[in-house]
Structure 1
Amino acid sequence: MKNTVTLVLILLLSYNGNCAKILGVFTAPGPSHYLLGSTLMKALAEKGHDVTVISAFGEKEPPKTKGTYRDIVATEVLENRKEMMKQREMNMFDQADANPFISTFFFGYMMPKMMEPALRNAEVQKLLHSDEKFDVVIVEQFMNNAEKALATHFGAPLVVVSALGANFWLNTLVGNSAPPSYIPMVVTDYSAPMTFCERLLNSLLFVVTDVYFNLVVYPAENEIIKKNIPNGPDLFDVLYNASIVLVNSHPSLNQPVPYVPNMIEVGGFHVTPPKKLPQDLQEFLDNAKDGVIYFSMGSNLKSADFPPEKRDAILRTFSKLKEQVLWKWEEDVLPGQPKNVKLSKWLPQQSILAHPNVKLFITHGGLLSTTETVYHGVPILTIPIFGDQKLNAKGAVNNGFGLMLSYNEITEESFTERIQEILNNPKYRNNAKKRSETFHDRQVSPMETAIYWIEYVIRHKGAPHLRVAALDLPWYKYYLLDVIGFLVSVSSVIAFISYYSIRAVCRKICNKRKTKKLKQK
């Protein structure tokens, strides 16, 4: 009996020694963003850590894990988003033609306002006024820099999760090199190598965004900290303080770019093994002898919001196909629905893409959807609307596993042409399979990588040795403006002295010649 008690005590002590208290903050009002955060936090809880998650969604049922999992759901975020959209009478498809400069101003203005209600939530405020401490705070990077102050408030290292690959919003905060000469801004559809005009516009957008953030966005986020966090620090004391950044990218998906030591690629960490499909879906996919086209515009966009002329063009195209079509349609009825089209308001996307009969994925080109199609080796046709979707769509085209169709170019003819090209040309599926092989060829899974580095930060108390010196330099030193100014000044002085010295010598020589001529006369 004594030995048993001793063993139990040893096990408990061992468990507590490896268990950390982790706070995750994923308040973006988009289901795809929450999917990333919740997948990571549930994996940490399954590892035995005690996890608290602040989000706009929450879990319907508490996950069964080795550690604890506590949800704090800020419903105010979704209510605020809905009200803001209603006031501006916004349809997300209206963003398809948005100018990149306008998109930048839009995101910079909207996102902090959308996420501030999370900090005002009663349960969040209760947590902020408690004596609770955490070993690490994990915050998603999506124009919500004010939430990074939670790490300072709780005296914990900060881990940042980027739902996108390396981008302007992230690179400047960790001192990562991102020359606009070959790294496109996230709201563009450029890809390397860029034309002269693209490099010109990309560089202008880089400068305008940097100025806009420093003069408008960051001060607004600083005010959010002061209003909602007790004894809140200044934004600029936390803005560049991330111990590590988990970047949702991978060479199979993204353009190769530089990364500083504390940027860790974990692209695809949200992808899970396919689960058993509902019987009706399983039978639909199994019985599709000519294959299946899967069509989904993601979680923020709704296919039901397509204007009638676009919807009818799509339906006429589908009605001519021998393939079956599985369409995520958010309403009960689809006027003019062809016999080969099956509808559902929700579909288990990852499990569907894993089915061998799926021949094509028609998508908005969101990064999670693009990641999942590469994981399963399915070619895509993208209809990008906003954000990084155009950039992802261009990447699929450049890498040969998909085509892109602009929203404004959707007609029966253009839609049919691209679908038939992908279905009948084996290069798209072959390239998708090659990309999938590259995606899977890793030493360890992306989730294992993410968990390792989070625990690394906890073990090393923030891992300050990974921080690059660039973060401690003022902007004029970072861009060597002081050195350039010095060299220009020295060169100017040398040129000035040389000019007047040569001029004086020349005058002296001329004067001697004149004197000599006068003597000869």
Structure 2
Amino acid sequence: MLVSHKTENNMKASLLFLAVILLVQNGQSANILGIFPMGAGSHYILASKLMLGLAEAGHNITFISPYEFKTQPKSGSIKNIVLEGAGDEFQKLLKESNLFERNKQNLLLSLSTMLKNFVSSINDTLQDEKVNELLRSDQKFDAVIMEQFFNDALKVFAYLYDCPLILLNGGGPNSFVNPTVGNPEAISYIPNMMIKASRNQPMTFFERTKNALSHIIFVQIKNYLLLPHQNEVLHQKFPNVPEVTDLYLNASLVLLNSHPSMHPPQALVPNMVEIGGYFIDPPKKLPKDLQEFLDNAKDGAIYFSMGSNLKSKDITEERKKIILKVLGKLKQKVIWKFEQELPGKPDNILIKSWLPQQDILAHPNIKLFITHGGLLSTTETVYHGVPILAIPIFADQPMNAERAQAAGYGLTVPYTNEDFTEENFSHALEELLHNPKYRDTAQRVSRLFHDRPMKPMDTAVYWVDYVIRNKGARHLRVGSIHQTWYQYYMVDVILFLLFSVLIFVKIVKFVVVKVFKTVRSKVIRQSKIKTQ
């Protein structure tokens, strides 16, 4: 086959252009270490999705995790280091815990157990043989990414590899992550996730008082329990590294899984970036049985799931009977994530131990999502514009449920003996299914969620690249991270000014009294002279 000279030159030029592009891409790729030892399903989803997104942007990822990562990126690479026994240990802990009864546990005992587990997880990660094999190798990294979740000792990896530290926070700005980059603590108008404030804003005086006390207690727990214990574990492994309190403030960037459409808007320092919903994939085709079940739901369908950690099978028998009785009366079909056989199940309910949640929520016949109110599930329902009935259990779930109800795209039925009744559950379902305002609001909030200049994963990739490209982007860090609490809140200045005013008043008083006495004495003397 004959090829013209011009065509041959065009082919050479195209090949040269392709080679240049490949060289440029190779030059932009970075070696990134992701450290995510947390075994909870929602935490692993956030970690693995971010690592996959960065790999598909062309980076080379080393991913330390509790579970094997099986997805192959379309470009870049992912080397998975699975922590020995971490996933099994967490699953064992889940089986031994009754998460539905967690809100009845003693708060101090629960907190003590939680801190012990976090410190144990840090120690296991630092002592893991495969992790230490990595440390002994000549591998270099351009950035370390880790979750900000009571594991500050692991920030030592950024110190050991002399590279920028990037934090991923599973929610919005809060007391867990704000201090790491000096973000203002909005305790006067943003409720702490550990307290239940009213849906009406602003908070009442007593709610603000409770919020302030919660903030102070958390700071003391962090400073005098959490960080010292982590420091001890860290220096047993690495005696010559900095204190955890120093590592704590070394973050170059914080990626927040939040968005103003779902979270109260508040001030963010320049190196805090919201990427809420980055973990959500475009909907895929449903399995045949689910597709047919939903397509045939002429009156609509309800999706019911309590998330990845809570198991529907662990709901008390009394509440199961209430749920089955109420759902069985509905015209709508129901898909329920349930982990075992369910005797007495009504014909309109389909149960499965695992379900493709995002793809189900995308089906046009889904009218309602019954959920525990976890942030990932709440974000997915907002993404697809589906109203929710929340049954919150613990952690951030009550707050997420309150926000959904306040925004107008959901209702809440608390999981308590007093409130979880057939009447309350049925009334909430009927209201959500038949009052169009909830779906209209869910669709409006969904439009706000999608209305942003670029996709959240693209935002994450851009800012990670930015920090690497600018060697930690120290110009974005605010000066408050170098201040003590009393300097930040101007306590020393206020006390100085008050003391100065006090001294000034005393001086003025002294002078006035002195002058008054002098004048009075003079007047008295003159008066005596006149009377003589």
TM-score by length of 2: 0.92
- C-alpha distance in 2 between matches for 1:386 and 1:202: 18
Name the SS for the 2:33 alignment partner. Answer: strand
Q: Is the contact between residue 96 and residue 407 of structure 1 (CA under 8 Å) also seen in structure 2?
A: no
Residues 98 and 252 (structure 1), Cα distance of their counterparts in 2 relative to 1, 3 Å cut:
farther
Q: Which amino acid aligns with 2:326?
A: T
Q: Which runs of 5+ in 1 are unaligned?
A: none
Report the counterpart of residue 431 of structure 2 in structure 1.
421
**CA displacement 1:54-91 (0-9 Å, x = unmatched):** 111222x34143211111111422333355567xx531
Q: CA deviation at 1:149?
A: 1.3
- Is residue 202 of structure 1 aligned with residue 219 of structure 2? no
Residues 397 and 11 (structure 1), Cα distance of their counterparts in 2 relative to 1, 3 Å cut:
closer
- 1:119-518 matched pairs, under 5 angstroms: 119-190=126-197, 192-229=201-238, 231-331=240-340, 333-408=341-416, 409-512=419-522, 514-515=524-525
Q: Is the contact between residue 134 and residue 156 of structure 1 (CA under 8 Å) also seen in structure 2?
A: yes
**CA displacement 1:158-191 (0-9 Å, x = unmatched):** 1111111111010111100113111111222325
- Structure (1 or 2) with the larger CA radius of gyration: 2
- C-alpha distance in 1 between matches for 2:43 and 2:516: 73
- C-alpha distance in 1 between matches for 2:245 and 2:234: 11
- C-alpha distance in 1 between matches for 2:18 and 2:187: 58
Q: Bigger shift: 463-472 or 483-492?
A: 483-492
Residues 449 and 434 (structure 1), Cα distance of their counterparts in 2 relative to 1, 3 Å cut:
same
Report the counterpart of residue 118 of structure 1 in structure 2.
125
Q: Is the contact between residue 76 and residue 121 of structure 1 (CA under 8 Å) also seen in structure 2?
A: no
- C-alpha distance in 2 between matches for 1:371 and 1:255: 14
Q: Is the contact between residue 94 and residue 309 of structure 2 (CA under 8 Å) also seen in structure 1?
A: no
**CA displacement 1:98-145 (0-9 Å, x = unmatched):** 687776666444433344323322211211222211011111111111
Name the SS for the 1:168 alignment partner. Answer: coil
Q: CA deviation at 1:270?
A: 0.5
Q: CA deviation at 1:514?
A: 4.8
TM-score by length of 1: 0.94
- C-alpha distance in 2 between matches for 1:185 and 1:101: 17
- C-alpha distance in 1 between matches for 2:121 and 2:399: 24
Name the SS for the 1:294 alignment partner. Answer: strand
Q: CA deviation at 1:215?
A: 0.8
Q: CA deviation at 1:218?
A: 0.6
Q: Is the contact between residue 380 and residue 401 of structure 1 (CA under 8 Å) also seen in structure 2?
A: yes
Q: Is the contact between residue 119 and residue 125 of structure 1 (CA under 8 Å) also seen in structure 2?
A: yes
- C-alpha distance in 2 between matches for 1:437 and 1:85: 36
Report the counterpart of residue 74 of structure 2 in structure 1.
65
**CA displacement 1:394-440 (0-9 Å, x = unmatched):** 11011100011111021111111111111111110000000000011
Q: Is the contact between residue 122 and residue 153 of structure 2 (CA under 8 Å) also seen in structure 1?
A: no
Q: Which amino acid aligns with 1:445?
A: K
Q: Is the contact between residue 56 and residue 75 of structure 1 (CA under 8 Å) also seen in structure 2?
A: yes
Q: Is the contact between residue 80 and residue 117 of structure 1 (CA under 8 Å) also seen in structure 2?
A: no
Q: Is the contact between residue 187 and residue 386 of structure 1 (CA under 8 Å) also seen in structure 2?
A: no
Residues 105 and 483 (structure 1), Cα distance of their counterparts in 2 relative to 1, 3 Å cut:
farther
Q: Which amino acid aligns with 2:310?
A: L
Residues 355 and 307 (structure 1), Cα distance of their counterparts in 2 relative to 1, 3 Å cut:
same
**CA displacement 1:193-227 (0-9 Å, x = unmatched):** 11111111100010111111001101111123223
- C-alpha distance in 1 between matches for 2:528 and 2:87: 96
- C-alpha distance in 1 between matches for 2:297 and 2:473: 53
Name the SS for the 2:364 alignment partner. Answer: coil
Q: Is the contact between residue 186 and residue 266 of structure 2 (CA under 8 Å) also seen in structure 1?
A: no
- C-alpha distance in 2 between matches for 1:198 and 1:189: 9
- C-alpha distance in 1 between matches for 2:498 and 2:112: 36
Residues 321 and 123 (structure 1), Cα distance of their counterparts in 2 relative to 1, 3 Å cut:
same
Q: Which runs of 5+ in 2 are unaligned?
A: 1-7
- C-alpha distance in 1 between matches for 2:71 and 2:449: 31
Q: Is the contact between residue 28 and residue 56 of structure 1 (CA under 8 Å) also seen in structure 2?
A: yes
- C-alpha distance in 1 between matches for 2:246 and 2:324: 54
Name the SS for the 2:147 alignment partner. Answer: strand
Q: Which amino acid aligns with 2:132?
A: Q
Q: Is the contact between residue 256 and residue 272 of structure 2 (CA under 8 Å) also seen in structure 1?
A: yes
Report the counterpart of residue 51 of structure 1 in structure 2.
61
Residues 379 and 128 (structure 1), Cα distance of their counterparts in 2 relative to 1, 3 Å cut:
same
Q: Is the contact between residue 47 and residue 67 of structure 1 (CA under 8 Å) also seen in structure 2?
A: yes
- C-alpha distance in 2 between matches for 1:266 and 1:318: 36
Q: CA deviation at 1:330?
A: 1.2
Name the SS for the 2:188 alignment partner. Answer: coil
Q: CA deviation at 1:319?
A: 1.4
Q: Is the contact between residue 314 and residue 411 of structure 1 (CA under 8 Å) also seen in structure 2?
A: no
Name the SS for the 2:286 alignment partner. Answer: coil
Residues 42 and 84 (structure 1), Cα distance of their counterparts in 2 relative to 1, 3 Å cut:
closer
Q: Which amino acid aligns with 2:74?
A: T
Residues 47 and 229 (structure 1), Cα distance of their counterparts in 2 relative to 1, 3 Å cut:
farther
- C-alpha distance in 1 between matches for 2:366 and 2:82: 36
Q: CA deviation at 1:321?
A: 1.1
Q: Which amino acid aligns with 1:57?
A: Y
- C-alpha distance in 1 between matches for 2:132 and 2:409: 47
- C-alpha distance in 2 between matches for 1:345 and 1:228: 41
- C-alpha distance in 1 between matches for 2:111 and 2:527: 74
- C-alpha distance in 2 between matches for 1:335 and 1:118: 43
- 1:88-99 matched pairs, under 5 angstroms: 90-97=97-104
Q: Is the contact between residue 295 and residue 325 of structure 1 (CA under 8 Å) also seen in structure 2?
A: yes
- C-alpha distance in 2 between matches for 1:413 and 1:43: 45
- C-alpha distance in 1 between matches for 2:219 and 2:119: 17
Residues 127 and 67 (structure 1), Cα distance of their counterparts in 2 relative to 1, 3 Å cut:
same
Q: Is the contact between residue 136 and residue 157 of structure 1 (CA under 8 Å) also seen in structure 2?
A: yes
Q: Is the contact between residue 166 and residue 247 of structure 1 (CA under 8 Å) also seen in structure 2?
A: yes
Q: Is the contact between residue 372 and residue 392 of structure 2 (CA under 8 Å) also seen in structure 1?
A: yes
